[in-house]
Amino acid sequence: MDFIELKVDVLPDFTDIIVAELADAGFDSFVETPQGVDAYAAAEGFDESRVQEIVRKYAALTPIAYTFSALPRRNWNEEWEKNYQPIFIGDQCVVRASFHQLPEQYPYEIVINPKMSFGTGHHETTALMLEMQLGVDHAGKRVLDAGCGTGILAIMACKRGAARVDAYDIDEWAVENARENGQLNGCPDIVIQQGTIEEVRLSGPYDVILANINRNVLLREIPRYAGTLGPGGLLLLSGFYEQDIAELNRVAAESNLSQTARHAKRHWAALCFQKQG
């Protein structure tokens, strides 16, 4: 699969909202740069007119420009990985690459070597999800990681004592990467499939579902998540802004889910819902 690399030059105050807009336009991986943000999406289905609409929308508010190029299937994170730094989630968890050597010990240590996949702990949404997982009982539970990326959340579930962890992603590189990271972390039994939620074979009902995806996908799939949860099951969501919470709550309520926790960091948000009945 080939990819599109989009480079957007924009003021720092607008980086987060541009990332959100691009996520809605089909981009699924982002790297902040001194100039603004680099975004990546599958070349198939790329629509430059969507990018042009975003630029027009914000042109009166900030200097903004973009360029894009096609990338063959390769590890476009390679240069970024050279500067990959460990991420600390409080004093409970560290996320590091395999080449990091740390003198301190943490209750949960996750080794992530990303390829084309999202989810290293550097982005606020991944960190928010890990923080919520630290407060959720996984012991003996059945867990699903929807849109697993690097597999980081599935690995955390495994390390937290889940009895079974299933995961899936639409991207073949993500699936390959998540499997490799599962092996690195001593979690070879995580079942990782490629496809959408409609295409993969699920083994629910689940006690916990984790979904760190963009808002539009969440709004569409929350009813499916709810249908796959057992009574009292928990749904942990991130990948959206605080301004999106009301709409997500509305869709969740229609699916018999009630909000039990809310977290935010730099305008990004994460929510925990419980299935009623």
Decide the pairing of beta strands 268-275 and 229-241: antiparallel
Cα-based distances in Å from 149 to 63, 106, 170: 32, 23, 9
pLDDT at residue 178, as a whole number: 93
pLDDT at residue 90, as a whole number: 86
> Which residues, 6+ apart, have CB-to-CB distance to 189 below 8 Å?
158, 164, 165
Cα-based distances in Å from 115 to 53, 78, 161: 30, 8, 26
| Beta-bridge partner residues of 213 | none
The closest alpha carbon to 99, from 114, 88, 113, belongs to 113
Task: Name the burial class of residue 10, with classes exposed (0-12), middle (13-18) and buried (19+) by CB atoms within 10 angstroms of its CB.
Answer: buried
pLDDT tens, N- to C-terminus, the chain (277 residues):
578 899 999 998 898 889 889 988 888 778 788 899 999 888 888 899 999 999 999 999 999 999 999 876 655 455 555 556 788 888 898 888 777 777 778 899 998 876 644 555 567 888 999 999 999 999 999 999 999 988 999 999 999 999 999 999 988 888 998 999 999 999 999 999 999 999 999 998 999 999 998 888 999 999 999 999 999 999 999 998 898 999 999 999 999 999 999 999 888 899 999 999 7
The closest alpha carbon to 130, from 81, 90, 182, belongs to 90
pLDDT at residue 138, as a whole number: 97
pLDDT at residue 76, as a whole number: 47
Q: How far apart are CA 92 and CA 167, in angstroms?
A: 24
CA dihedral 26, 228, 130, 137 (to 10 degrees): 180
Domains belonging to the chain, first-starting first, are 3-74 (3.30.70.120), 82-275 (3.40.50.150)
Q: How far apart are CA 159 and CA 89, in angstroms?
A: 15
CB 128 within 8 A of CB 263: yes
